[in-house]
A and B are shown apart, each in its own frame.
Chain A
Amino acid sequence: MNHDAVLEQKKIMESEWGGGKAPFGVSWRKYMMWIFIVSDAFTFGAFLAAYGLFRVTSAGWPDTYEVFTAFPFIGVEAPMLFVAMMTFILICSSFTMALAVSASYKNDRTKALKFLGLTILGGSIFILCQVYEWYHIIHDGATMTSNPWGVPLFSATFFMITGFHGLHVLSGLILLTITALKVKRGFYERRGSYEGVEIVGLYWHFVDLVWVFVFTFFYLL
């Protein structure tokens, strides 16, 4: 028996990539969510890239500061304030999500539930805001094929991108609700791991992340 070869073999077997282990130090579930996020980012990336092309090829792209001026109940025009608030809400919900994950790792079920509830609340408010905003610009005359501010592709890309993002928020809310119920019923406690909460959290942060870019590229630029 060659001693060096045995040692070498032992080293290989015990290395992180030597098999029988999770080489990234995360379970396959969590890694699966990560790569799903990468994949989904490519869909959004393609939408945004297409939007970029329309933006640079269309003369007279509408000024978003003149389009998105509505704010409920205040009666005066407040350019972009409403979207800024939506962004604020989504960031807050990401924050509470992070706290929910942190609480669940401390096995604090009540706290985890509380923060999950807040996250769901934030997400729901965001969706409602989006409904309001859609309602408003549809009311102003925007459709998939035309809008009062000029280039038809403006409203078409708006509805497409925010709509696709909205669907993500909606599915995120469903996932969050299921997760909250599982936490409540002690599912993760019995399983001995709160990883499920963290995985849903990843998805939720991603939804927030996408919004940051949509907000930047569509509204602010």
Chain B
Amino acid sequence: MSKQEHSKKVYIKVWIWLLAITIAGFIVSPLGLPGWLHNLFIVIIALMKGGLIVAYFMHLKFERLSLIYSILLPLILIVALAVALLYEGTTRFL
């Protein structure tokens, strides 16, 4: 583990970014964007936030590629469940 990965500067930068996009997500809501655009925006922001936390705070960015894949790829499966449920919910009477 090299010093640079744990450097305070990077953390502060990430922290500021996190706060900035949290606020961004928060203030778009009252703007009255069309629903789908608003939702898209919000979800992208959530993914960005999640990405920052995982990559920098949890350090995943600095791990070996094999480790990164072994953690991230399985998540596709739970997303598949969510997609199937949403599809079921919108296309049939439940």
Contact = CB atoms under 8 A, between A and B. Distances in A.
Q: Do chains A and B touch in the complex (CB under 8 A)?
A: yes
A135 interface: no
Interface string B65-94: 011001100110111011001101110001
A174 B49 CA distance: 25
A216 B22 contact: no
A193 B85 CA distance: 45
A92 interface: yes
A216 B81 contact: no
Contacts of A101: 6
Nearest to A204: B57
B63 A52 contact: no
Contacts, number: 125
Contact of A212 (B15, B53, B64, B70): B53
B45 to A, nearest CB: 7
Contact of B46 (A53, A55, A102, A213): A213
Interface residues of B, number: 47
Given A52-B86, A212-B49, A213-B50, A221 B42 contact: yes
Nearest to B16: A95
A138 interface: no
Interface stretch (A83-91, A121-129, A149-157): A83-91
Interface in A6-24: 23-24
A216 B3 CA distance: 34
A21 to B, nearest CB: 12
Interface of B: 1, 3, 6-8, 11-12, 14-15, 18-19, 22, 25-26, 29, 39, 42-43, 45-46, 49-50, 53-54, 56-59, 63-64, 66-67, 70-71, 74-75, 77-79, 81-82, 85-86, 88-90, 94
- 7 closest A-B pairs (Cβ-Cβ)? A45-B78, A49-B82, A216-B46, A102-B6, A56-B89, A24-B67, A95-B15
22 contacts: A24-B67, A31-B67, A34-B67, A45-B79, A49-B85, A50-B85, A52-B85, A56-B86, A56-B90, A65-B29, A80-B29, A84-B22, A95-B18, A102-B8, A102-B11, A198-B59, A205-B54, A205-B58, A208-B53, A209-B50, A221-B39, A221-B43
